[in-house]
Amino acid sequence: MTGPLSGMRVIDASNFVFGPMATQLLADMGAEVIKVEPPQGDPMRMVGGSRNPKMGSFFLNLNRGKRSVVLDLKAAGDLARLDALLATADVFVHNMRPAAARRLGIDYDSLAARHPRLVYAVALGFHQDGRYAERPAYDDVIQGMSGVAGLHARMYGEPGFVPMLFTDKLCGVYLAGAIASALVARAASGQGQQVEVPMFETMASFNLVEHLADDIFSGPAAAAPARGYERVFSRYHRPLKTGEGYVCLVANTDAQWQRLFALLGRSELAADPRFATMGDRIRHAEPLYEAISGSLLERGAVEWLALFLEHDIPAGPANGLDELLNDPHLEDVAFFQTVEHPTEGTLRCAPTPLRFSASPRAAAGGAPTLGEHNADFLG
């Protein structure tokens, strides 16, 4: 194995998306990830098209390079086998609710005495000391509770979801980073620890980076504070229509806006005090984009994009999935990798695109069949 986490062993008893997203990142960074699955397998094995049973496309894309062993954690013998694996491991990841982990005897307090160097990572719905601790949590639920769906309501009049498994994947990135941080701490102290990443609190924090807005000022306020980052709630905060097609346009600096006003034939807008500074433009986002949108209809998207790039104005096309999969830059950087899987044939993978000069990351490998590595790790 190669990569900055080469030599690390991760026992991953998580399923669905949140936990496996984190361990996929760890595997791409060179860690050996042993996926512990129940006899029926991770439910994601059944999602998407497949060439063989329990090898659905979603699972193949989220479990590259991992190993699979089957353990029934409700059976005492298999719990003992899990404990033997943990004795060889650096990291243990699961997404069980706290009470379930305690019933099985694999909560942190139960394991820490036997495995003091173990980094014990829990993919949670909610922090354990709050009233929601034992609630089930999935992506849609967390998009709603964390205010993500409500952002859609502010723009369109009714709540809506981001059309991807947004919170699962993002929280998985947070979890991978937290695990890596705990490994750094262990290298200094020799001691493992418990790592908790809760979906609700993580997404609340992520949402409020810009949307906390004036509520950041504590104490009594003379008036109700402005909540939310105004610019993104403009009805023009979307791909902008041109004479043919759409462009995604985000000028930010004063110089970029001045060049854009000139290019659109609207130089008079540069003298408008509403648009003088970045703060002014954000406060007046609606009239600003309304002023420029009509000019965009004079040319098509391809022509506008060429002009914007020529004048160093940040812009890009509004790609669909077809265009993304055939993007020429992704071809330039060899973004996609081809894997020859022993049972699933030729697979096209979109691996983690991080680069390390001194410890190149592991090449993408195929996802395991259910229980493929029982003999290797369970004897």
Residue 220, pLDDT above cutoff 80 = no
Q: What is the pLDDT of residue 219?
A: 65
Average pLDDT of the residues in 116-144: 96
DSSP secondary structure string, 272-327? -GGGSSHHHHHHTHHHHHHHHHHHHTTSBHHHHHHHHHHTT--EEE---HHHHHT-
Integer Cα distance of 271 and 210 in angstroms = 28
SS3 336: coil
Mean pLDDT of 307-321: 97
Rg of the chain over CA atoms, in angstroms? 25
CA distances from 225 to 3, 142, 220, 235, 367 (A): 47, 25, 10, 22, 50
| 99, 69 contact by CB (below 8 A) | no
Residues 6+ apart with CB under 8 A from 60: 341, 344, 347, 366, 367
Q: What is the mean pLDDT of residues 25-35?
A: 96
**Could you report the per-residue pLDDT of 194-214, keeping only the tens digit for each?**
999 999 999 999 999 999 988
Within a 10 A sphere around the Cβ of 203, how many other Cβ atoms?
A: 22
Q: Does the structure show a pLDDT above 90 at 318? A: yes
Query: Residue 213 and residue 228: Cα distance in Å, rounded?
Result: 6
The SS3 call for residue 170 is helix
Range 340-369 average pLDDT: 90
Q: Taking residues 134-140, what's their average pLDDT?
A: 94
**Mean pLDDT lowest for which of 51-60, 197-206, 359-368, 370-379?**
359-368
pLDDT value at position 221?
58
Can you tell me the distance from the alpha carbon of 32 to that of 14, in angstroms, rounded to the nearest whole number? Answer: 15
Dmax (CA) of the chain = 78
Q: What is the mean pLDDT of residues 239-267?
A: 95
- 112 pLDDT more than 70: yes
φ, ψ of residue 99 in degrees (nearest 5):
-65, -40
Residues in the chain: 379
- What's residue 228's pLDDT? 87
Residue 222 pLDDT greater than 70, yes or no: no
Quote the crossing angle between the two packed helices 18-28 and 166-189, to the nearest 10°: 50
Please tell me the predicted confidence (pLDDT) of residue 280.
93
Better pLDDT: 78 or 379: 78
What are the angstrom distances between the C-alpha of 189 and each of 129, 175, 182, 183, 376?
A: 27, 21, 10, 10, 31
The pLDDT value recorded for residue 363 is 73
Question: What CA–CA distance (Å, rounded) separates 121 from 124?
Answer: 9
Average pLDDT, the chain: 94
Q: How far apart (Å, rounded) are the C-alpha atoms in residues 38 and 74?
A: 10
Q: Which domains does the chain have, with CATH numbers?
A: 9-206+333-378 (3.40.50.10540), 240-317 (3.30.1540.10)
Helix, strand, or coil (residue 17): coil
- 147 three-class SS: coil
Residue 69, SS3 per DSSP: strand
pLDDT at residue 145 greater than cutoff 90: yes
- Judged against a pLDDT cut of 60, whether residue 109 lies above it is answered with yes
Under a CB-based contact definition with an 8 Å cutoff, are residues 300 and 244 in contact? yes
> Is the per-residue pLDDT at 361 higher than 70?
yes
Half-sphere exposure for 201 (CA within 13 Å, toward CB): 15
Above pLDDT 70, what percent of the chain?
97
- Tell me the mean pLDDT in the region 161-174: 97
Q: Which two tokens stand for residue 202?
A: 């993580």
Alpha-carbon distance 322 to 234, whole Å? 28
Cα 354-127-76 angle, rounded to 5 deg: 90
Query: What end-to-end distance do the CA atoms of the chain give, in Å?
Result: 22
pLDDT at 237: 87
* Confidence bin at 365 (pLDDT 50/70/90): confident
Which residues are CB-neighbours of 277 under 8 A, at least 6 positions away? Answer: 254
Question: How far is C-alpha 88 from the chain's CA centre?
Answer: 29
* Other Cβ atoms within 10 Å of 240 Cβ, number: 19
* pTM for this prediction: 0.93
